[in-house]
Structure 1
Amino acid sequence: MQSLYAHSYRFLWITILGVYSFVNTLLTETLTYYPIPLSSPTLLVLFLVLIAGIWEGSRILYHYLSLRFYNKLWHKLAVGFVGSILLTATLTIAISFSYAYVSDTWQSPTFILLLKLFLMFAFRINLFLNILNIIYLYVHELEKIALEAEQLRQIGVQAQLQAIRNQINPHFLFNNLSVLSSLISYDTTSSLQFVKQFSNVYRYVLKNHDKELISISEELGFTQSYLFLLQKRFPEGIQVELHVDEGYLNWQIVPMALQMLLENTIKHNIVSVEKPLTIRLYTDNPYLILSNNLQPKAVYTSESTHTGLSNIVQRYAYLSSIDVQIIKTDNEFIVKIPMLKLPSETSL
């Protein structure tokens, strides 16, 4: 976030502030109390030089602090305020000494009066600019928070719609009802299990689609129901390996993230008895990892928009400082989802 000092019109503001300060000094008869033998043009130039020095010095200081305290606004303001005081004192003394040396007045009472006037003037300017800078940064921080909140709301709505669409779209219904129809004719027990898992999937979607986070335990229960449907749909075409450490079951992930990844995996890869798709789900702190052997369908090579993956990445960008990792090798596609640990949870 840029400070007020980095404003594109800063030289115009420096000039306006310098002229205003000069006119204010004359109108308030400040020179009556500080009888300095300076011509008006000389005093104006010295005011402009001093303000420009304070402004540009503060700009460099806040640029450095922005790199040092990127997400710590109040730390940056506190350190910046102290730094600007030291900067102002140093510049004021340097400019006063320089002028006194050039005019050969540094050993006379005139130099002391000049130094007092400049110190009083410089610290008032410094305080004024710091107050304006705090207001400027605070307003921009509020605007940033409001923008991020709106973006997160939009992403959340898109995620909900995407999750519901992935589950309730006609193809999903048609495929699973076709599987159920075939099961009923020869395997009543399996058909009853299928109906139970099918209802579990929809119950989970309707109950949790609007949540920001959910426990891995709950997500796994839903995922296993979803995998059951897939394995019935592709008998012997999908092989699943689950290795989720029990110590992570109370940690959190975004709801239906695994379902979106599984949907993408089935959509973009060949699934058959001859070329079974192997899906592995395992933990490696701080990630929950889903991987599959890569055997892409040529029809989706150029059409894929990776909407599901993009959705997951954006949701995590607002919930965690840990990024989603997507890795594609010659033989494997891997997605690493950050597991979020709530403060109340105990350490492993």
Structure 2
Amino acid sequence: MKKLFVHHPLFRLLSPLFSGALVYLLILLINNTIEDLNTNFFTQELYVCIGLAYIIQEAARIIIVLFNRLRQPNSFWVKSILHLGTTLLITVGLVTLTMYLYFTQVLSYTPNYLELLIFNSIFCAIAVFYVLLYISNQFLHRVNTEKLEKEELARVRMEEDFIAFKRDINPALLMESLEAILVLMKKDADEAESLTEDFASVYRYILSSKKKEIVNIKEELVVLKTFIEVLNRLPFREIKLSIHDLEDTWVVPGSLLYICEGIVRSSISSDLESISVELKEEGNNIVLKYSHEEKLNKTFNISDLKMIVRSYSHFTSDSLEMYQDDAVKTIKLPKIQLG
């Protein structure tokens, strides 16, 4: 938040001049007639009112600084009421003390109740206006902050939706698959048709699963096998997938497909060796292990799975893990249990 204008040196210097003169003018109008203004305006009482205005406004400013640092109470309105009450009490005390000293030490008589009431009423009105300026500024800042937070949240959600949409469409895989189909069409039309069907079934699953938050792992594995067949026809290192018995559990749709694609894209391309991927269950996790031989400029790490990590965080408190040794990289997906 920008610095409040009441703390600006120019405002602190000039504002009491006008407010003090206004107080003195009101007191003259209360005690005299308008015709007496020409003869009674520039007198000692004017400078007393201006000086008292400096004291009151500086006291109110200090109270603003103190309340701005307070953490309690949390309620905006309770804090505002407490702030206003404190300012009024201190203003009444300062005005009463200053006027009593001025009347007794300078004018040599004790001020009566009506005179103190007039001074306190006017200066309290100025103090209230001063505090209301601060409270209104705080309220406006609070409203604007909430609007900015909502706009930022909407922007983040839009970016996440765009990233998710881009991930689902997967333009790189789309182009690579279409190019492979074009090449196969010239060599083997039946093989090209088979690749097209597999490619279409994978994309149907990816796009239709956008309406689902989780799917049964058996449904995911059926598509995963088809997806592996598509990847093996593209210019990547071949994947050999071995699936051990997996109990009936649930996964975020497309998570296993995304992991397998990350594996082949980060592995060095070779026709001589394949990637052995093992998928099994260990306790409360679905474990995926593979022999890694990654590219020098591209490694597969947990930051590549942040969208999946975020998705799993909605369904389980267990975190997705990835670690490796010299030959094997392990990825652990927490099992999602319903009920």
* TM-score in terms of structure 1 length: 0.57
Q: Report how far residue 25 of structure 1 moved.
A: 1.4
1:199 CA drift (Å)? 1.6
Q: Deviations over 1:26-74 (max 9, x none)?
A: 332357559xx96322321221111111122123213324x763xxxxx
The answer (yes or no) to whether the contact 2:280–2:288 under 8 Å persists in 1 is yes
Q: Report the equivalent of 1:39.
A: 45
Change beyond 3 A, Cα 1:145–1:268 = farther
TM-fit CA distance, 1:85: 2.9
What one-letter code is carried by the residue in structure 1 that aligns with 2:206? V
Name the CA distance, whole Å, in 1 between partners of 2:245 and 2:13.
70
Secondary structure of the equivalent of 1:29?
A: helix
Alignment match, 2:296: 299
Checking the alignment, whether the CA contact within 8 Å between 1:61 and 1:83 is kept in structure 2 is no
Q: 1:327 to 1:192 in 2, by over 3 A?
A: closer
- Alignment match, 1:202: 207
1:29 equivalent among 24, 27, 36: 27
Q: Secondary structure at the match of 1:216?
A: coil
Corresponding residue of 1:109: 110
Taking the aligned partners of 1:12 and 1:241, their CA distance within structure 2 comes to 78
Q: Look up the match of 1:217.
A: 214
1:110 Cα deviation after fit: 2.0
RMSD: 5.6
Determine the structure 1 residue equivalent to 2:126.
Answer: 125
Q: What is the DSSP-based 3-state SS (H/G/I as helix, E as strand, rest coil) of the residue aligned with 2:104?
A: coil
Residue in 2 that maps onto 1:54? 60
Change (3 A) 1:89 1:269: same
The answer (yes or no) to whether the contact 1:5–1:133 under 8 Å persists in 2 is no
Amino acid across the alignment from 1:199: R
Distance change (3 Å), C-alpha of 1:230 and 1:301:
same
Q: 1:243 to 1:159 in 2, by over 3 A?
A: farther
Correspondences of 1:205-284 after superposition (within 5 Å): 205=210, 208=211, 216-217=213-214, 227-232=224-229, 233=231, 235-237=239-241, 258=255, 262=259, 265-266=262-263, 270=267, 276=277
Task: Give me the whole-angstrom Cα distance separating, in 2, the residues matched to 1:64 and 1:14.
Answer: 23
The answer as to whether partners of 1:204 and 1:222 remain within 8 angstroms in 2 is no
Which residue of structure 2 lines up, in the alignment, with residue 345 of structure 1? none
Asked if structure 1 preserves the Cα contact closer than 8 Å seen for 2:280 and 2:286, the reply is: yes
Residue type of the alignment partner of 2:45: S
SS at match of 1:110: coil
In the alignment, what sits opposite 2:35?
Answer: none
How many residues were matched structurally?
Answer: 297
Q: Which residue of 2 aligns with 1:18?
A: 16
In 2, the alpha carbon distance for the partners of 1:269 and 1:262 equals: 11
Paired residue secondary structure (2:21)? helix
The structure, 1 or 2, with the larger RCO (C-alpha pairs under 8 Å, 6+ apart) is: 1
**1:92 counterpart letter in structure 2:** T
- Contact in 2 for aligned 1:22/1:43 (Cα 8 Å): yes
2:94 aligns to what?
95
The letter for the 2-side match of 1:61 is F
Measure the CA separation in 1 of the matches of 2:131 and 2:245. 59
Code of the aligned partner of 2:129: F
C-alpha displacement of 1:133: 3.4
Give yes or no for contact 2:287–2:332 (8 Å, CA) kept in 1: yes
Unaligned runs of 5+ in 2: 33-42, 232-237
Gap change, CA 1:118 and 1:130, over 3 Å in 2: same
Cα contact 2:277–2:289 (8 A) shared by 1: no
Following the alignment from structure 1 to structure 2, what is the Cα–Cα distance between the partners of residues 201 and 262?
Answer: 14
In the alignment, what sits opposite 1:342? none
Moved more, 234-243 or 160-169: 234-243
Letter in 2 for 1:95: L
Matches within 5 A, 1:143-182: 143-173=144-174
Q: TM-score, normalised by structure 2?
A: 0.58
- Structure 1 position 224, deviation (Å): 5.8
- AA partner of residue 50 (structure 1): I
Q: Which moved more, 1:295-304 or 1:86-95?
A: 295-304
Q: Tell me if the contact between 2:27 and 2:118 (Cα under 8 Å) persists in the aligned partners.
A: no
Say which SS state the counterpart of residue 296 (structure 2) adopts: helix
The aligned counterpart of 2:234 is: none
The CA distance in 2 between the partners of 1:276 and 1:235, in whole Å, is 7
Quote the offset at 1:159 in angstroms: 3.1
Q: Secondary structure at the match of 1:155?
A: helix
Q: Distance in 1 between matches of 2:115 and 2:286?
A: 72
- The whole-number CA distance in structure 2 between the counterparts of 1:245 and 1:133 is 57
Q: 1:259 to 1:130 in 2, by over 3 A?
A: farther
Aligned to 2:81: 82
